[in-house]
A and B are shown apart, each in its own frame.
Chain A
Amino acid sequence: MRLSVAAAISHGRVYRRFGLNPRSRLDLLRNLVTALVRYERIETPWARADEMRGYAERLIDYAKRGDKDERAMRMADFWLTEKDLIHKLFKVLAPRFQPHPGSYTRLLQIPNRDGLDRAKMAVIELKGNPLPPLPGPRRDSDKTLLNQLLKGYRQDAQRAA
């Protein structure tokens, strides 16, 4: 009788496995978060960007508490390996995102990596950054058949109302 879950089954697990062990996974994500805070737009494999997104947004939530908060300062000290970025986090990023309640990052997929592994890559950026905008997901133009039919339906509904 099998009493333990087989090692290959991971039903319901939310955290991806990176690196050698949980400590190295956090170190990897920490380097990515530091890079994101420094350059505000980075290109990484999609899985790492997706995992990092949650930590980056929670870090900004902590930063919004203010730098007088002991816990916020400890978190920033752990997550940002380059200590000059702590100042940037509290003085630049926290006020920038103060009016927004959440979702401070944007994650977009880019063509696969050129190397042998052809990894699925993504670009993750903080919103409101000073770099030129990325070509976001383009919506279908108004001239497509579906959009024209929907426009006609909306006009009929307006006329009936």
Chain B
Amino acid sequence: RVSSDGKPPKFQPPPKPVIIDRRTQKEERRFLSPEFIPPRGRTDPLKYYMERKDMIQRRKVFSIPEFYVGSVLAVTTAEPHASDKSKRFVGICIQRGGKGLGATFVLRNVIEDQGVEICYELYSPRIQAIEVLKLEKRLDENLMYLRDALPEYSTFDVNMKPVPRMANEEIPLNKLQVRMKPKPWSKRWERPKYNIKGINFELPEHKMQAAQKWSQPWLEFDMLREYDTSKIEEKIRKELSEELEK
């Protein structure tokens, strides 16, 4: 450093460190369970308010983890006729239905070559534990087509270990394209009304085009069918965070 007039150089403080606080960005991506969002209809919002209060009460006692359709869960329920009074079932969540206290989720697994689907109610007091073994999302909201897919896509090891996951990471999207058993299927999954992206259709081209006959291209422009939940979600998120902190 060049000294000014023989005196020691003026003390330059080091540059202040730039602190990028990532915590605020991550809080914006909090998960809101879909059964809290009330459906569009003419019912009194008081009903949904009361149900939400009961749901929050249950969540304070029993922790319901965050999961999506396509994640592998292990559920222990109380079973009166089992020897140790509880039953554990492992499966992939194929559907999440219902709103409010009656919210359900269906787990599917193939046990000894027999496909088994069990529909559990999230807020039922019979459920003793819900454990997320593998948290991931799939290309569709509804995986009912796994019934017509090859059984290897629905088999999960009953003694599977939970896949470790770092906190505050993006939920992985599994872009798996499932291969199907030969037709006939339980539903005509190739039709545009199901809008399924997760199947690798090996059907001939003319069959795929024949299925497009049932497409309704005007539906995406029908503005009154859209249900914008952003404001409702914000209110419910605020309510939830307030109640769960008490």
Residues of A within 8 A of B (CB): 12, 14-15, 22-23, 26, 54-55, 58-59, 62, 74-75, 78-79
Contact = CB atoms under 8 A, between A and B. Distances in A.
B222 A62 contact: no
Given A12-B42, A22-B216, A78 B224 contact: no
Contacts of B41: 12
A75 B42 contact: no
A59 B223 contact: yes
- Residue of A54, A62, A78 with highest tally of chain B CB at under 10 A: A78
A134 to B, nearest CB: 26
Top-8 shortest CB links A-B:
A58-B223, A78-B221, A26-B218, A54-B224, A23-B218, A55-B223, A75-B221, A26-B222
B213 to A, nearest CB: 13
Interface string B192-223: 00000000000000000000000010100111
A128 to B, nearest CB: 22
Q: Name the interface size band of chain B.
A: under 10
Given A22-B216, A23-B218, A55 B224 contact: yes
Contacts of A12: 41-42
B43 to A, nearest CB: 11
Nearest to A79: B221
A60 to B, nearest CB: 11
A74 B223 CA distance: 12
Contacts of B216: 22-23
Interface string B38-54: 00011000000000000
A14 B218 CA distance: 18
Contacts of A22: 216, 218
A38 B216 CA distance: 28
B223 A26 contact: no
A58 B42 CA distance: 20
A15 B42 contact: no
